[in-house]
Structure 1
Amino acid sequence: MVGTIPGVVLAATVLVTLAAYFHFRSDRPAKSFADGGTASATIGLTGTEKPTGILRWFTTVDHKDIGLLYILFGTVAALWGMTDAMMMRSELLVPESAIWNVETYNAVFTTHGLTMLFFFVTPVFTGIANYVLPLLLGADDLAFPRINAIAFWLLPPSLVMVRGGLITDIVGMVVGVLPVDVTVFEALEPVAMGWTMYAPLSVEMVNPQISVALLGLHLSGVATTMAAINFIVTIFTERPDDLGWDKLDIFSWNMLVTSGLILLAFPLLGSTLIMLLLDRNFGTTFFAVEGGGPMLWQHLFWFFGHPEVYILVLPAFGLISLILPKFCGRRLFGFRFIVYSTIAIGILSFGVWAHHMFATGMDPRLRASFMAVSLAIAIPSAIKEFNWIATMWNGNLKLTAPLICIIGGMSTFVIGGITGVFLASVPVDLVLHDTHYVVGHFHLIVVGIIPLAMIAASYYWFPLITGRMYNQRLARIQALILIVGAFITFIPLLILGYMGMPRRYGVYPAEFITLNQVASVGAFILGASVILWVVNMIQSARAGPIVRDADVWDLKETGQFTREWQWFEERLEQGQVGPARAIDDAGVGAIDDGGVDADVGPKERADREDTGDGQNERRSETETDDGETDSES
């Protein structure tokens, strides 16, 4: 029961904050929203009802603002989780426990995994989709803007709850030098149960912070599920009449499948976390050792966990499929097969969870079945890789920063994917399961194609979001450093796994020291590349060259000037420089965009201006005879 008290206090704080938020919103003027708000001919045209400064960010329901908030939150979480990784790699420079003690190593190992999986990747992709998906669809906003805002504001308290033990530990050490009582800071110890939270360890550890962290994870799952529902409804209901399923862009297809996976996987995780909380605090026996509870936990966790892998990577696939053709001068090869492969991955992802459990002694017949499906799921991914290469073949490649990131992501995905095929084989997995080979395989995906796709998207849409251009030379250098750092870090881990080095330990035999030091150097290179990206983005948003031509990437030459860039061009023609006013209002220093029609989507603007045929003619120029856009055929 003691473990639930801090969580109840935090939950009550969140509820009070939300109640105050809605009370404040109820006194504001009506505005046109897709979720049933009152329409107004004046409000929305001028945007004058929006507050300025930081208050704007706390009260906004605009999909672009919330998208930026998601991206900023995910970036902060990534930097926090990256700090954990650097602490671990620092410890692994030497075989013995020299820098951090065992408890600290286990704690940062736990928070690193939870932070990166739940608070970095999914929020960043949710933010990108928040910003560009309505523009790609030609919608005014997401279907439920207020729910969109609620889903985001559930995440910050969730992150604090998950990392609360480390936070209070650090605060206690700082305050400890003062003549004050620090007992309250010692009540919540850092969580050191591992990011997979395996029972019975997670049940029996006496640390109230574990219960708080479980509540935080549950809250983040609620937020993610709300966002997924919003995306699904938006894609189904907010498309214009002339945008059929055959014309839907590839990123929207991937977000639709990803949202479906979230809708099926995260509620199960929430139920499992509640069962664990009941075992810890109310004496239930869901995961009791005597009844096979540890195996039950693994089945429930990995039934969520492996679809979660594709929840993380499918948006990256969508971004690569969308952006790659723009810099190859040709249409995406095999558009329909890429869509079908995405759907196939979504279906098969729920039939492979037990390949994480080959070493647990399950029935050999079950192991054989899961091995077959685990091998089969590699086929849709291989189709994507083949089609990406075919798109580049004989294309007019423009070696920009986005394309460098995409090529690097494709390369890491090939190695990470093939090593995963090896692990899908039961005999190989039994040998390599508890080694660093698994760490290298997994991180070549989550620190390979996923962040490279994110950074490619940031470079591709940066002019659209800020109205400014970044330092392209620095961006190319940063992309190359990131790719090199990823290979230097994780290829040695594959070799260490072959040599038999166990994972999850902060100490190891001395014969593994050389490759561990190489991997640590690679990790520091990765960190340096991320710092370069952050510096480039901030500096360019403040003082980068102003964009005067919406066709930044010469997309009109190849007929790939898609809807979001058409929206941007219309803003430029109206004397607006881009939606950077939101950044400027927060004091970052970006440019003013004039404020007219700042919150009006393409569909609503077309209705108001009554341009009708003219706009449709311009859009039809980028469509092929079978209805697909040139960029996604």
Structure 2
Amino acid sequence: MATAEIALPQRRPMRLAGVAEWLTTTDHKKIGVLYIYTTFVFFLIGGIFALLMRTQLALPFNNVLSHQLYNEILTMHGTTMIFLWIIPVFSGFGNYFVPLMIGARDMAFPRINAFSFWLIPLAGATMYSGLFLKTGSAACGWTCYTPLSEKPFAPGLGQDLWILGLHLLGLSSIMGAINFLVTIHNLRAPGMTWFRLPLFVWSVEVTQALVLLASPFLAGALAMVLMDRQLGTDFLGRGADPLLYQFIFWFYSHPAVYIMILPAFGIVSEIIPVFSRKPIFGYRAMAFSMAAIGVLGFMVFAHHMFTTGLPLALQEFFMTTTMLIAVPSGVKVLNWLATLWGGSIKYTTAMLFAVAFVLMFLVGGVDGVFMASLAVDYQLHATYWVVSHIHYVLFGGSVFGVFAGLFYWFPKLTGRYLDETLGKLQFWLQLVGFNVTFMPMHFLGLLGMPRRISVWGNRPDWELWNLVATIGAFIIATAVLLFIVNFLISIRGGRRAPADAWQGNTLEWATTSPPPPYNFETVPQVRSARPMRELRKAQV
């Protein structure tokens, strides 16, 4: 027997509480739902920005957007997708499911948890407000490189608002990281040892450690830019080392790539065993590989700077570590495939997204190994190859992981299933649209098309691929709209789900759907890495 829980009666699907209750809640589950809803709105905004950019780039000498507006939209697209969508949406999943998975009643610091969430819409509003100023919003790219972000080149207030918004997001992330780490370390149910933790909880543990260690560096870099702009200091402008900002920025921003992908690793590691009807292959190797990625993530950041004139010895070191970090990632891919091998696979929509995640992440990872080579990076740096690479990792990886998690956990969130027919149609549209959009960018990069340009022309060899990529972007948009339709239909009229909707392995399936405010009637007693499986066996 794995836990002291027994099968509980069904709860009615979630009803919207009063507005005041949602605005003042400290319940980790409601805060998790707020995270997911809010960040999905930001995802839609970022997607609109992407469609505008692809429309501008579809044809040569296009003039849909001015050069300045294109730069502003490009900056806000990257900022939105990274800081307002991918990073916080995984905090939403973590808020809802980490306490349930470890048998806790709530997060360690509920009020700090609520405060961390409410900083996110405030930060988004702060950054977007620059779009309504006469001087415009930030327009130097999501990286905010100096000297482009210094006062002489970005005199408008929009750049300052962008920095302030990111400071608010950083504060939210740091407080959230402390909350997650304390929760996981101190509130685990009796018997929930480290090697009985669900792999999603392992992924959150490593992710939040990265957030806690890396975020202060971004805050420091942005503070120097802000002081240069407003107080007349010279940390990064007028005679300062132009590489100083890049070193500090990438010391945060490459670990941020793993902050954005590790929780998706955890989600997929929960889904594949459930729908393969097998335990995860190499549980400890999966846990240790996440920790290894977290450590190595701080040792590869300067591969973004190979073309900036770094000493050759330093370039060789970062080339080696960049290739080395592919090893723990390869371990994960191998273990996912080994879990699938010989399994009794059920291709639900969640499983389809999980399998596609593995394949798309593999393409993005192989891209990265190519670019780890100094000779290759010198040729492809700042081309559309890089755009394709990062989107295969963060869209084909992270966003596919998000949708896998939404389809997998929607029954627990609402007590209803999402429609599988609409879900599978969305999946195939999204998979095809994604590859139609971003695979041609490999070819554009090899043909020398630079990233971040707003107009191009006199290059017949670019015309077909740019048009194809734009068509693909609108196919992705259609898939996302289909998900919204599916959600709106299913939230009220979807098929009712039992407490254990998928015959899962972890403790969130031991309570009702949706769970009560107190999560569990009694504290679970854990004796297995798959407590729900053991519980079902005991009830036979």
TM-score by length of 2: 0.93
Q: Select 2:84's aligned residue among 104, 116, 119.
A: 119
1:298 lines up with 2:246 in the alignment: yes
Q: What is the aligned partner in structure 2 of residue 190 from structure 1?
A: 137
Q: What is the aligned partner in structure 1 of residue 7 from structure 2?
A: none
Structure number, greater radius of gyration: 1
Query: Structure 2: how far apart are the matches of 1:289 and 1:471?
Result: 58
Deviation string 1:198-225 (CA, Å, 9 cap, x unpaired) is: 1011013111111111011011000011
Q: Select 1:235's aligned residue among 157, 180, 184.
A: 184
Q: What is the aligned partner in structure 2 of residue 277 from structure 1?
A: 226
Q: Give the partner amino acid of 2:533.
A: T
Q: What is the aligned partner in structure 1 of residue 26 from structure 2?
A: 61
After superposition, residues 350-365 of structure 1 pair within 5 angstroms as: 350-365=298-313
Query: Structure 1: how far apart are the matches of 2:226 and 2:529?
Result: 57
Q: What is the aligned partner in structure 2 of residue 218 from structure 1?
A: 167
Q: Give the partner amino acid of 2:112.
A: I
Deviation string 1:147-198 (CA, Å, 9 cap, x unpaired) is: 00000001111001111122x1xxxxxxxxxxxxxxxx52x52221111101
Where structure 1 has 5 or more consecutive residues not aligned to the other structure, the ranges are 1-49, 169-184, 569-576, 580-597
Query: Structure 1: how far apart are the matches of 2:299 and 2:114?
Result: 34
Query: Structure 1: how far apart are the matches of 2:307 and 2:349?
Result: 42
Deviation string 1:521-556 (CA, Å, 9 cap, x unpaired) is: 111111111111111112100221223x33322x2x
Structure 1 residues 253 and 621: alpha-carbon distance in aligned structure 2, compared to 1, 3 A threshold = closer
Q: Select 1:516's aligned residue among 457, 466, 491.
A: 466
Q: What is the aligned partner in structure 1 of residue 389 from structure 2?
A: 441
The SS at the match of 1:290 is coil
**Conservation of the 8 A alpha-carbon contact between 1:404 and 1:480:** no
Identity within the alignment, %: 41
Query: Structure 2: how far apart are the matches of 1:349 and 1:297?
Result: 19
The SS at the match of 1:201 is coil
1:479 lines up with 2:438 in the alignment: no
Q: Give the partner amino acid of 1:248.
A: L
The SS at the match of 1:606 is coil
**Conservation of the 8 A alpha-carbon contact between 1:225 and 1:262:** yes
Query: Structure 2: how far apart are the matches of 1:617 and 1:389?
Result: 23
Structure 1 residues 218 and 618: alpha-carbon distance in aligned structure 2, compared to 1, 3 A threshold = closer
The SS at the match of 1:202 is coil
- Count residues with an aligned counterpart: 519
Structure 1 runs of 4+ with >6 Å offset: 615-619
Query: Structure 1: how far apart are the matches of 2:136 and 2:528?
Result: 63
The SS at the match of 1:538 is helix
Q: Give the partner amino acid of 1:518.
A: V
**Conservation of the 8 A alpha-carbon contact between 2:382 and 2:451:** yes
TM-fit CA distance, 1:567:
1.1
Q: What is the aligned partner in structure 2 of residue 155 from structure 1?
A: 120
Query: Structure 1: how far apart are the matches of 2:125 and 2:27?
Result: 25
Q: What is the aligned partner in structure 2 of residue 545 from structure 1?
A: 495
Query: Structure 1: how far apart are the matches of 2:527 and 2:227?
Result: 57
TM-fit CA distance, 1:75:
0.1
Deviation string 1:307-332 (CA, Å, 9 cap, x unpaired) is: 00000000000101111110001010
Larger deviation: 201-210 or 135-144? 201-210
1:83 lines up with 2:48 in the alignment: yes
**Conservation of the 8 A alpha-carbon contact between 2:506 and 2:531:** no
The SS at the match of 2:137 is coil
TM-score by length of 1: 0.80
Q: What is the aligned partner in structure 2 of residue 432 from structure 1?
A: 380
Query: Structure 2: how far apart are the matches of 1:119 and 1:113?
Result: 10
Q: What is the aligned partner in structure 2 of residue 327 from structure 1?
A: 275
1:562 lines up with 2:488 in the alignment: no
1:600 lines up with 2:518 in the alignment: yes
TM-fit CA distance, 1:244:
0.8
Query: Structure 2: how far apart are the matches of 1:209 and 1:618?
Result: 50
Structure 1 residues 539 and 365: alpha-carbon distance in aligned structure 2, compared to 1, 3 A threshold = same
TM-fit CA distance, 1:616:
7.7
TM-fit CA distance, 1:246:
1.4
**Conservation of the 8 A alpha-carbon contact between 1:107 and 1:192:** yes
Query: Structure 2: how far apart are the matches of 1:100 and 1:297?
Result: 30
- The structure showing larger relative contact order (alpha-carbon pairs under 8 Å, at least 6 residues apart) is 2
1:535 lines up with 2:451 in the alignment: no
Q: Give the partner amino acid of 1:622.
A: R
1:526 lines up with 2:476 in the alignment: yes
Query: Structure 2: how far apart are the matches of 1:241 and 1:222?
Result: 32
Q: What is the aligned partner in structure 1 of residue 514 from structure 2?
A: 578
Q: Give the partner amino acid of 2:350.
A: P
The SS at the match of 1:154 is helix
Q: Select 1:622's aligned residue among 533, 537, 540.
A: 533
TM-fit CA distance, 1:620:
5.5
Where structure 2 has 5 or more consecutive residues not aligned to the other structure, the ranges are 1-14
TM-fit CA distance, 1:404:
0.6
